[in-house]
Amino acid sequence: MLQGKRAVITGSNSGIGLGVAEALAAAGAAVVLNSFTDRPEDHALAADLSARHGVSVRYIAADMSDGAACRALVAAAGGCDILVNNAGIQHVAPIEDFPVEMWNRILAINLSSAFHTTAAALPGMKAKGWGRVVNIASAHGLTASPFKSAYIAAKHGVVGLTKTTALEVAGMGITANAICPGYVLTPLVEAQIPDQMKVHNMDRETVIREVMLLRQPSRQFATVEQIGGTTVYLCGPHADQVTGTTLSVDGGWTAL
């Protein structure tokens, strides 16, 4: 379905970004993986994805906290038809104790990077008359929780940026949408489960249901495969008129 398209996915050497890369490669797109590291295992991920799906996959190191590096990533990729802004970090602290450096870093990586990559990608998309911008926001782009001020401000910002992008390119064959996942079972989340089991003295299933997924009515994690499939849908022809919107994959969290 996506043969002939090139996708750039920021922050894609693990978790949701890698799941999205897997789904786009399986749908036939050429893929550019990214993170800020430049290790042999990063390039090995690209070689493995390429071998399994028979598509071109490259890994390009670029630090998404640096606006110039964000723009350089898109240039080094040779432009892109599909841009997935996924890189993100988190920090948890009350506002009055929130480290200023961490506030600035979260805003840079989780929000400003999407501004820079989108600015770099749109001219090429406009020239081709086709493009897809998929921003990985969060349920926290639509609702809040205490102690995550920077993350929640950034993710609400991503939703606003998505709407503005959509309006600026409406009618040009380009769409921009935000996926808003609830709690997704990534390696990062998986690694927290044993600690949570210890702290709460609960078995795995109970700690997942009663502690980690308290706000997710389905009491089930979303999966990276589901976020990947949602991205493929947004890149496909059935979503040609889906633009400027948010798509929640959150087990009902934001319906509460």
Give the residue numbers marked as catalytic: 151
Q: Which residues 6+ apart lie within 8 Å of 227 measured at CB?
A: 16, 19, 20, 136, 179, 181, 184, 249
In the complex with ligand NAD, which residue's Cβ is closer, 90 or 173? Answer: 90
In the complex with ligand NAD, which residue's Cβ is closer, 163 or 237? Answer: 163
Residue 252: C-alpha distances to residues 183, 188, 248 (Å): 11, 22, 8
Q: Which of residues 12-51 bind ligand NAD (CB under 6 A)?
A: 12-17, 35-36
Determine the 3-state secondary structure of 132 from DSSP.
Answer: strand
- Which of these segments, 10-18, 42-50, 52-60, 76-84, binds ligand NAD (CB under 6 A)? 10-18
Q: Provide the minimum distance between the beta carbon of 41 and ligand NAD in the complex, in angstroms, as a whole number.
A: 12
Q: Provide the minimum distance between the beta carbon of 86 and ligand NAD in the complex, in angstroms, as a whole number.
A: 5
Q: In this chain, which of 11, 79, 157, 228 binds ligand NAD, going by CB under 6 A?
A: 11
- Which of these segments, 48-56, 93-101, 120-128, 186-194, binds ligand NAD (CB under 6 A)? 186-194
Inter-residue contact 8 to 14 (CB < 8 Å): no
Sheet containing strand 246-249, edge to edge, reads 57-61, 30-35, 6-9, 82-85, 131-136, 174-181, 246-249
In the complex with ligand NAD, which residue's Cβ is closer, 66 or 128? Answer: 66
Q: In this chain, which of 174, 184, 232, 247 binds ligand NAD, going by CB under 6 A?
A: 184
Task: Report H helices in the chain.
Answer: 15-26, 40-53, 67-77, 100-107, 113-128, 149-169, 187-200, 204-207, 224-235
Residue 129: C-alpha distances to residues 5, 68, 125, 148, 251 (Å): 13, 25, 6, 38, 35
Q: In this chain, which of 20, 31, 55, 63 binds ligand NAD, going by CB under 6 A?
A: 63
Site string for ligand NAD, 136-175 (x = CB under 6 A): x-x-------------------------------------
Residue 25: C-alpha distances to residues 53, 55, 177, 218 (Å): 6, 7, 20, 29
Q: Provide the minimum distance between the beta carbon of 156 and ligand NAD in the complex, in angstroms, as a whole number.
A: 12
Residue 186 touches ligand NAD, criterion: CB under 6 A: yes
Q: Which residues bind ligand NAD (CB under 6 A)?
A: 10-17, 35-36, 63-65, 86-89, 109-110, 136, 138, 181, 183-184, 186, 188-189
